[in-house]
Amino acid sequence: MTKLSVNINKVATIRNARGGNVPNVLQVALDCEKFGADGITVHPRPDERHIRQSDVYAIKANIKTEFNIEGNPTPTFVDMVKKVKPAQVTLVPDAHDAITSNAGWDTKRSLAFLTEVIEEFSSVGIRTSIFVGTELEMIECAAKAGTDRVELYTEPYATLYPKDREAAVAPFVEAANLAKKLGLGVNAGHDLSLENLRFLYENIPTLDEVSIGHALISDALYMGLEKTIQEYKFCLRKL
């Protein structure tokens, strides 16, 4: 079964725009869990413009489902993750001022660095995932780094999907097949939505997890959080 991890960064963005604690980020995480989400994802950034370190600690202390922390493995990030000990850490090569994640790792160039970071997380029992594109060499080098999983960066899929969904999904199928052959788990995330998620799942039913935030939280404004989560989970069911 492909799990749905809900990224709640956008909830924190709304809270921070006004100050105070409305909407309550922790309560939303608990509600997502109650409404059927298989995991909660956060992506804290150094400027804390959405998720704050205090959110990370509060969420870990209160949720029962899987917790996934994404981010660039700077010393501060690594230290925080090792203290929190989430189920999974997803390594993303973000610049400190990036609006959102917009590229996967060059795992060949960063092989030594990633190997060292992964060993550090693995030593305390945290599952690791590397954010990558569909270039096969990048996936091969991710496996060499010792990661447990890769997360496929799906913005190119989402962008091409309305024009040619078969062409859009083809490189992702090839990448996922190689990752599985190399013994890696496969996650996917970025710009996945109710429009394109079902087709991705139909073509890559071996996905371990999808992480979805922006589209899901936006849909919840119209449909409500509970119904929205159920609609996304329906996209991940075998018919």
> How much of the chain, in percent, has pLDDT values that exceed 90?
92
Give me the pLDDT at residue 103, please. Answer: 74
Catalytic pick from 33, 70, 151, 209?
70
* CATH architecture of the region 3-234: Alpha-Beta Barrel (3.20)
Give me the pLDDT at residue 239, please. Answer: 75
> Is the per-residue pLDDT at 19 higher than 70?
yes
Domain boundaries, the chain: 3-234
- Extract the tokens encoding 49: 């413009």
Q: What global pTM score does this model have? A: 0.94
166 is catalytic: no
pLDDT bucket at 204, cuts 50 / 70 / 90 = very high
96 is catalytic: no
Query: What is the distance between the alpha carbons of residues 98 and 157, in angstroms, rounded to a whole number?
Result: 21
pLDDT digits (tens, 9 = 90+) for 87-145: 999 999 976 555 555 678 999 999 999 999 999 999 999 999 999 999 999 999 999 99
Catalytic pick from 43, 50, 151, 209?
43
> How much of the chain, in percent, has pLDDT values that exceed 70?
97
Q: What is the CA radius of gyration of the chain?
A: 17
190 is catalytic: yes
